[in-house]
């Protein structure tokens, strides 16, 4: 199992003032922050990042939303990072998310679901490198 995953604190969560609380959940869940950037994605960046969903009916809505305001992109490190972060954030649809998960506490809808998490080790590497150069990631040893 890999030790890295990629996370986004999405525009709804930043706009609603939840950035600090979600950042704190990350630290409390024992992730190391290898990189963190507050940014506003361009539409082209959002389209590239979510290219895997290009054929889905929600692609336009998703990429418009993700480029609608500031978000925070993060490279996280922990043992079994992908699964650990997915457990911390809860189900994609906040209506299905477990009590105590980030999406249960901060997400408003399926489309505006507060955070993103990689779904596999392979995608974690691809997604981290979409937003961070190797030089930007903090070496922990
Ligand atoms: P995320 O984990 O960032 O990965 C893809 C995103 O697409 C997902 O979170 C949701 O926010 C969004 N998404 C998935 N299904 C739908 C849907 N039916 N309508 C709108 N957005 C969706």
**Ligand 1 near 25 CB (within 6 A):** no
Low-confidence ranges of the chain (pLDDT < 70): 140-141
Q: Rounded to whole angstroms, what are the CA distances from 28 to 25, 33, 50, 75, 129?
A: 5, 12, 28, 16, 25
- State how far the Cα of 13 lies from the Cα of 8, in Å rounded to an integer: 10
Find out whether the beta carbon of 89 lies less than 6 Å from any atom of ligand 1.
no
* Contact in structure between 73 and 36 (CB atoms under 8 Å): yes
Q: Whose CA is nearest to atom 22 of ligand 1?
A: 111
* Cβ proximity of 112 and 65 under 8 Å: yes
Contact 21, 106 (CB under 8 A): yes
Residue 141's pLDDT is what? 46
Take atom 1 of ligand 1 and give the residue whose Cα is closest. Answer: 116
pLDDT of residue 17: 98
Check if 58 has its Cβ closer than 6 Å to any atom of ligand 1.
yes
Q: Give the residue extent of every domain in the chain.
A: 3-132
Q: What superfamily in CATH does domain 3-132 come from?
A: Nucleoside diphosphate kinase-like domain (3.30.70.141)
Check if 116 is active-site.
yes
Answer whether 111 contacts ligand 1 (Cβ < 6 A): yes
pTM: 0.96
């Amino acid at each position: 199992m890999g030790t890295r995953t990629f996370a986004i604190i999405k525009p709804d969560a930043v706009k609603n003032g939840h950035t600090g609380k979600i950042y704190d959940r990350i630290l409390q869940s024992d992730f190391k922050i290898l990189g963190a950037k507050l940014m506003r994605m361009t539409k082209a960046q959002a389209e590239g990042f979510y290219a895997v969903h290009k054929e889905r009916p929600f692609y336009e809505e998703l990429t418009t939303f993700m480029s609608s305001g500031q978000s925070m992109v993060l490279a996280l490190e922990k043992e079994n990072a992908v699964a650990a972060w997915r457990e911390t954030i809860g189900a994609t649809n906040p209506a299905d998310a477990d009590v105590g998960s980030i999406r249960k506490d901060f997400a408003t809808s399926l489309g505006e679901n507060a955070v993103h998490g990689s779904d596999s080790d392979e995608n974690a590497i691809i997604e981290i490198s979409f937003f961070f150069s190797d030089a930007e990631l903090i070496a922990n040893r």
